[in-house]
């Protein structure tokens, strides 16, 4: 049987990650059926009548999707894993629903990592959501610490930095009615990320990158990371591969980590995503194969030459976020049109809201300096529009 015979892919979620997955699928004539709302960005670039309009948490919609696909994957982890478990006899789910269930709860994820001897920051479960209980956790972890929602967290929505005892009440008000845990503050020098591909034959990794967050939202990605030795980059890739190998299921995973400022240059895992990740957008331009190509190939058991995952040329990726005014993201995009080697990706999401990811720009260059110099005016513009 040809590899191309049984390859209809179902995706829960039709945002920008699903859209870029479809860009990769389109080049291989692979049909993708998206479950999301009517005008989801991913659906708009893949015309056929079989997309499903509905919520990726909805039982009937997921069951309908399962009927028409060979494999189901996700572009977001906040899906209904109980329904996925129910259909897993009939259709392959990659990565497995167990993995998605564990990862979508950041506390369960931490417990899983700890059991597999993966280094993480110390953390404490919050059971009663009272100021008294949180004060005891503050004593234990020290200040500042990060209060986090266990579930439905993304782009920092779900995190509250507790700087002192005075923040205990406000932090509980902010994260009211959510299941919580506390994390010790990680005094990191920089944040690194690695995209890992789990295949039927084992794990492969993309290059280590540096991520810069602003207000807990990813702003910039540097490939390779600035001022990080190649031995640390290699160590980060090894740790990321070990981390992903602790989970069941094929596909790309995003692994976020902290590089500490200590003598040992300790690496700690912050969190993982069971899907392609913002930190890997740059691979479209900088590697022989993008994380989206790799995800498709992994879930369909297509070959993935490890060499294709190496960095071909340095790159910097800048997210285009919605800003204070309705058109601030468009001003950045327009400026990018004149930047040599800037690849512009817009997600066709409609109206911007502050902090909403509307697109991204990747500038690749022959050297790190060249890529950084070319994108600097755009970063300056982003900072000016923010100020």
Which residues make up the interface to ligand ATP (CB under 6 A)? 121, 146, 148, 153-156, 158-159, 183, 185-186, 191, 213, 216, 256, 270-271
In the complex with ligand ATP, the residue whose CB is nearer, 256 or 293, is 256
- 119 interacts with, out of Mg ion, ligand ATP, none, CB within 5 to 8 A per kind: none
User: What stretch of H or E contains 272?
Assistant: strand 267-273
Q: How many residues appear in the chain?
A: 387
Specify burial of residue 314 (Cβ count, 10 A radius: 0-12, 13-18, 19+). buried
Identify the bridge partners of residue 220 per DSSP, sorted by sequence position.
212, 318
- For residue 236, what are its two tokens? 């980060």
In the complex with Mg ion, the residue whose CB is nearer, 83 or 153, is 153
Angle at 281 between CA 105 and CA 147, to 5 degrees: 30
- 183 interacts with, out of ligand ATP, Mg ion, none, CB within 5 to 8 A per kind: ligand ATP
H helix count then E strand count, the chain = 12, 18
| Residue whose entry in the numeric block shows the structure tokens 């031995």 | 231
In the complex with Mg ion, the residue whose CB is nearer, 297 or 357, is 357
In whole angstroms, the minimum distance from the beta carbon of 121 to ligand ATP comes to 5
In whole angstroms, the minimum distance from the beta carbon of 105 to ligand ATP comes to 12
In whole angstroms, the minimum distance from the beta carbon of 366 to Mg ion comes to 31
Specify whether the CB–CB gap between 91 and 66 falls below 8 A: yes
User: What stretch of H or E contains 102?
Assistant: helix 97-104
Provide the mask over 201-240, with x wherever binding to Mg ion is found by CB under 5 A and - wherever it is not.
Answer: ----------------------------------------
In the complex with ligand ATP, the residue whose CB is nearer, 50 or 271, is 271
256-275 residues near Mg ion, rule: CB under 5 A: 256, 271
Give the residue from 348, 380, 357 showing the smallest Cα distance to 281. 357
In the complex with Mg ion, the residue whose CB is nearer, 228 or 272, is 272
- 4 interacts with, out of ligand ATP, Mg ion, none, CB within 5 to 8 A per kind: none
In whole angstroms, the minimum distance from the beta carbon of 4 to ligand ATP comes to 34
269-308 residues near Mg ion, rule: CB under 5 A: 271
- 13 interacts with, out of ligand ATP, Mg ion, none, CB within 5 to 8 A per kind: none
Q: What is the DSSP string of 38-97?
A: TT-TTGGGS--TT-EES-TT-HHHHHHHHHT-SEEEES-S-S-HHHHHHHTTTSEESS-H
In whole angstroms, the minimum distance from the beta carbon of 68 to ligand ATP comes to 30
In the complex with Mg ion, the residue whose CB is nearer, 28 or 217, is 217
Task: Give the whole-angstrom CA distance, residue 75 versus residue 63.
Answer: 17
- 121 interacts with, out of Mg ion, ligand ATP, none, CB within 5 to 8 A per kind: ligand ATP
In the complex with Mg ion, the residue whose CB is nearer, 147 or 336, is 147
Beta-carbon contacts of residue 34 (< 8 Å; ≥ 6 apart):
10, 11, 13, 14, 18, 22, 40, 42, 43, 46, 51, 52
**Residue number closest to ligand ATP, CB atom:** 186
Binding site for Mg ion (CB under 5 A): 256, 271
């Amino acid at each position: 049987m040809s590899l191309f015979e049984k390859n209809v892919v179902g995706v829960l979620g039709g945002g920008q990650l699903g859209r870029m997955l479809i860009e990769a699928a389109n080049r291989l004539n692979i049909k993708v059926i998206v479950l999301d709302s009517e005008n989801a960005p991913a659906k708009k670039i893949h015309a056929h009548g079989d997309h499903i309009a509905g919520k990726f948490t909805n039982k009937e919609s997921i069951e309908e999707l399962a009927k028409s696909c060979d494999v189901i994957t996700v572009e977001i982890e906040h899906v209904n894993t109980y329904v996925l478990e129910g259909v897993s006899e009939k259709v392959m789910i990659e990565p497995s629903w167990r993995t998605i269930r564990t990862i979508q709860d950041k506390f369960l994820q931490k417990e899983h990592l700890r059991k597999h001897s993966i280094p993480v920051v110390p953390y404490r479960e919050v059971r009663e959501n009272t100021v008294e209980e949180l004060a005891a956790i503050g004593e234990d972890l020290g200040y500042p610490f990060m209060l986090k929602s266990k579930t439905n967290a993304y782009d920092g929505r779900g995190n509250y930095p507790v700087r002192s005892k005075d923040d205990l009440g406000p932090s509980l008000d902010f994260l009211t009615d959510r299941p919580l845990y506390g994390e010790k503050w990680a005094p990191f020098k920089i944040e690194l990320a690695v995209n890992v591909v789990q295949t039927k034959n084992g794990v492969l990794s993309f290059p280590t990158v540096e991520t810069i967050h602003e207000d807990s939202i990813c702003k910039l990605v540097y490939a390779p990371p600035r001022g990080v030795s190649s031995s640390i980059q290699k160590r980060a890739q090894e740790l990321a591969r070990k981390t992903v190998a602790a989970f069941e299921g094929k596909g790309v995973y995003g692994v976020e980590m902290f590089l500490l400022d200590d003598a040992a240059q300790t690496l700690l895992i912050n969190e993982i995503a069971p899907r392609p990740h913002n930190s890997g957008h740059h691979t479209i331009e900088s590697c022989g194969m993008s994380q989206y190509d790799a995800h498709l190939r992994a879930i369909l058991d297509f070959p993935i030459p490890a060499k294709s995952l190496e960095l071909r040329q340095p790159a910097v990726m800048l997210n285009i976020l919605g800003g204070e005014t309705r058109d601030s993201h468009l001003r950045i995009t327009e400026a990018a049109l004149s930047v040599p080697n800037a690849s512009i990706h817009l997600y066709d999401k409609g109206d911007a809201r502050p902090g909403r990811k509307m697109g991204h720009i990747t500038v690749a260059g022959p050297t790190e300096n060249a890529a950084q110099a070319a994108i600097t005016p755009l970063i300056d513009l982003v900072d000016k529009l923010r100020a």
